[in-house]
Amino acid sequence: MSATIKLENKHFPVLLNELISIISPLYGGTFIDCTFGQAGYSKKILEKKYNKVIAIDRDKDVYLYAKELEKKYKKRFCFKNIKFSQINNIKIKSSDLKAIIFDLGYSINQIKDLNKGLSFKSTGKLNMKMGLNDFSCHEVISNMTENNLIKIFKFFGDEKYSKKIVRKIIEIRKRKIINTEDLTKIINSIKKFKNSKIDNSTKIFQALRIFVNKEISELINGLINAFYLLPIGGVIAVVTFHSLEDRIVKFFFRNYSEIKNPSRYVPNKNNNIRCFKLQNNKPITPNLKEQKINPSSRSAKLRFATKISNESNFEEFKQKFKYLIDIENLQFDKWKSFYFLFR
């Protein structure tokens, strides 16, 4: 995933200047770009000759951009086709690592890729796989039980018409395979009189993308593993694009950060180990100029924290969002799925 937006053959990484201002004091070491995408962040970091970048991305199609940087920065850049939850598998001298960057958006190229089928404007078979997946959206819509589909749409999409939409899906799939166009028609048939600033299909497609790519598990494990990999003094920076992922990042940083200016009259009831120091309590958001150039950046929020301790206990973090991970782990009938492949 990457929030790099391609407009008129130019790439516009979201909140690029703000991110660079955060990490530039750390220049002269290695940076991990966990969502390489179209190389927006990596290119900017590599402009300084003493910087190195390890880029990772689960989408193998981005290797086209990686090859260019491997050729240009032979000893300063490498690319790994892995999920960012597997960041702990990267072999690196801890003291060389300066910052780990996550950009949780999708690029316009990924959204418009008909083979990926991430957008409700796509056509044909439902997919939504970003790479290194166990199943596709087609299998979910074809085989998941009614109750489980409702949970996915409700908790990952915050869709208040989840029950009605799911019942219609169950009805239609009994007589035909549901493709992308069918799914958008089903949603519009239920929400035809609903006035909204976003497309009727946005929330359902978001929920399915999260489920198919296990984005909640990826984010939680990615953040925890990034902490363990990073030395004291290193920075974790995360750009989010919807409220669910921002809530996870916000809790991770705030709950495990030192408290600024605590009152001596109010005891600190939070006994968690302090892992981070926050410079900003509020997220950094795009200015009006960036929003005008790139409307997709409007929902972006950048949060960052500096590691101040190697001690950690992230059980509270895991437990707080366990209900979401449990939903991501919902199962469907694999034998039925096998049958649908040949229909």
Cα(323)–Cα(41) distance, integer angstroms = 33
- In the chain, the amino acid numbered 306 is T
Terminal CA-to-CA distance of the chain, rounded, Å? 32
Share of the chain above pLDDT 70, in %: 89
What is the pLDDT confidence band of residue 306, given thresholds at 50, 70 and 90? very high
Mean pLDDT of the chain: 89
pLDDT at 164 (0 to 100): 97
Beta-carbon contacts of residue 186 (< 8 Å; ≥ 6 apart)? 165, 168, 169, 172, 178
pLDDT for 236-266, tens place per residue?
A: 999 999 999 999 999 999 999 975 455 454 4
Mean pLDDT value across residues 146-173: 97
Q: Is the pLDDT of residue 1 over 90?
A: no
- Residue 12: per-residue pLDDT: 78
- DSSP states along 75-107: TTEEEE-S-GGGGGG----GGGEEEEEEE-S--
The tokens describing 226, both together, are 């990034």
Which residue type sits at 112? K
The CA distances from residue 36 to 46, 102, 239, 289, in Å, are 13, 9, 13, 24
CATH topology for 5-109+215-312 is Rossmann fold (3.40.50)
Task: Provide the residue ranges of all domains of the chain, joining segments of one domain with +.
Answer: 5-109+215-312, 114-213+324-341
CATH number of 114-213+324-341: 1.10.150.170
CB 143 within 8 A of CB 340: yes
Cα–Cα dist 261/308, whole Å: 17
Comparing CA positions, the residue from 136, 305, 295 lying closest to residue 236 is 305
Both structure tokens of 88: 């702990």
Q: Assess whether the region 5-109+215-312 and the region 114-213+324-341 belong to the same CATH fold.
A: no
Q: Are 131 and 143 in contact (CB under 8 A)?
A: no
- pTM of the predicted model as reported, rounded to 2 decimal places: 0.90
Let me know: does 272 contact 255? Beta carbons within 8 Å. yes
